[in-house]
Chain A
Amino acid sequence: MNKKTIMGLPREEFFVSGSRNCAGCGFPSIIRIVTKAAGKNTIIVNATGCMEVVSTPYPQTAWKLPWVHAAFENAAAVASGVEAALKKLGKNTNVIVFGGDGGTYDIGLQALSGMVERGHNVLYICYDNEAYENTGIQRSSSTPKFSWTTTTPIGKKIRGKKQWKKPISQIMASHGMSYVATASPHLHIDLFNKVKKALSIKGPKFIRVISPCVIGWKIPSNKTIEIEELAVETGVFPIYEVLEGELKINYKPKKLKPVKEYLMMQGRFKHLNEKEIRVIQERVKKHWEHLLKLEKMGRIYDVIL
């Protein structure tokens, strides 16, 4: 069902108003597009993080789907248990995990790797806001190089985060799992179709969705969607899928915009000097060319034991 227009999307809503997310937050649109694709027969497992905290302030919940949260680093393990229970009950309910980058790249990586290695029929979605935003914008391994956070301040000696963003897609794909993809809410049909495709595949699936954070990225609250677009148009956040080890880029800008356009809209990067911007530009360009090369190679993720 390739929905072309927005109004072609299912209208049923599973995430209602009144959630306490910040004005302009990136992940509500992720939740709505994903749950529209997944539909009513879905159980949500949420890792501790912004999404979980803002959406379930007892005695209220914004979720209209069955939803469970236990802790920060075990969402994938909890989901494994949910999936196993459903299997025993003979039910085919979708199990979807939502985790932030901290809960996915860092503290939750072991549980995620275990869930994938064991082959649980679960779709794991990482809303990637590139820092521990809920706890006040501390650095995670997903934070971009040079980026300001409250634990990578811009000092005289050290300027922002030292390391490049952890290649989580590569790590997940190298598990030999069936489906790994990236997506952006602004390409809503692509995200919708990826969730549909993922849910049609039996076994573990991983989709990482860009989720700008107004507070953490220091952007105006109305620029969330525009920032997503710029991230994709500059090649900073390429949109691709790795299906059975074969990479396919789903969206190719005719010409990559300079990363500066993307960086300079964000307060977390406003300290960057020309040299630092050049280093980022080089890296993004090299990475984009690498993706184009991989796309032509057919099966790229054969398991190396």
Chain B
Amino acid sequence: MSKYPVIKKVGNTREYKTGSWKTMKPVVISEKCIGCGKCWLFCPENCINEIIKNKKKIFEADLDYCKGCGICAEVCPVKAIIMKEDEE
């Protein structure tokens, strides 16, 4: 607890996993993904990362932070993301 209302560990909201908020989660059909990055840009949680899956560059949400809003599925131009019930 600092003496002053100043936060010096910038970007530390990552310590707070917002993933528990979601009831739905995005599932990527990697074959369909064309790597355009729309989901990456428009994810309000900035939690979609570029990954390599069987030698192909695709995007996948980090479920620790994903709130299940469904924007990625909505903006995906090739419908490579579908929203599913989040079992947890």
A residues at B contact (CB < 8 Å):
5-7, 9, 13, 15-26, 28-29, 32-33, 55-65, 185-186, 188, 214, 220-226
- Min distance, Cβ B71 to any Cβ of chain A, angstroms: 5
Closest residue of chain B to A65, judged by CB?
B10
- Min distance, Cβ B87 to any Cβ of chain A, angstroms: 18
Cβ contacts A to B, 24 pairs, < 8 Å:
A13-B46, A16-B14, A17-B65, A18-B12, A18-B14, A20-B16, A24-B67, A24-B71, A28-B44, A57-B13, A58-B7, A59-B7, A60-B16, A62-B13, A188-B41, A221-B68, A221-B70, A222-B69, A222-B70, A222-B74, A222-B83, A224-B42, A225-B71, A225-B74
Summed over the interface, the residue pairs from A and B with CB atoms below 8 Å come to a total of 121
B37 engages A6 (CB within 8 Å): yes
Which B residues are in CB contact (< 8 Å) with A186?
A: 42
B22 engages A18 (CB within 8 Å): no
- The verdict on B31 contacting chain A, using a C-beta distance below 8 Å, is no
Contact residues of B: prevailing secondary structure: loop
A57 to B14 Cα, complex, angstroms: 12
Sorted from nearest, which 7 A-B pairs have the closest CB atoms? A222-B70, A18-B13, A23-B67, A24-B69, A23-B69, A17-B65, A221-B69
- Min distance, Cβ A292 to any Cβ of chain B, angstroms: 29
B residues at A contact (CB < 8 Å):
1-2, 5, 7, 9-18, 21-22, 35-38, 40-47, 62, 64-65, 67-71, 73-75, 83
Closest residue of chain B to A228, judged by CB?
B42
- Min distance, Cβ A67 to any Cβ of chain B, angstroms: 8
In the complex, besides A59-B9, A65-B10, 15 extra interface pairs with C-beta distance below 8 angstroms are A16-B11, A16-B14, A17-B14, A17-B45, A18-B12, A18-B16, A20-B13, A23-B21, A25-B44, A29-B42, A58-B7, A59-B2, A60-B15, A60-B16, A225-B75
- Min distance, Cβ B77 to any Cβ of chain A, angstroms: 11
Contact residues of A: prevailing secondary structure: loop
Closest residue of chain A to B72, judged by CB?
A222
Closest residue of chain B to A226, judged by CB?
B74
Which A residues are in CB contact (< 8 Å) with B35?
A: 7
- Min distance, Cβ A240 to any Cβ of chain B, angstroms: 23
Interface centre among A6, A20, A21, A57 (most CB of B within 10 A): A6
- Min distance, Cβ B15 to any Cβ of chain A, angstroms: 6
B12 engages A61 (CB within 8 Å): yes
B42 engages A60 (CB within 8 Å): no
Report if A6-B44 is in contact (Cβ < 8 Å); known contacts: A18-B17, A61-B7: no
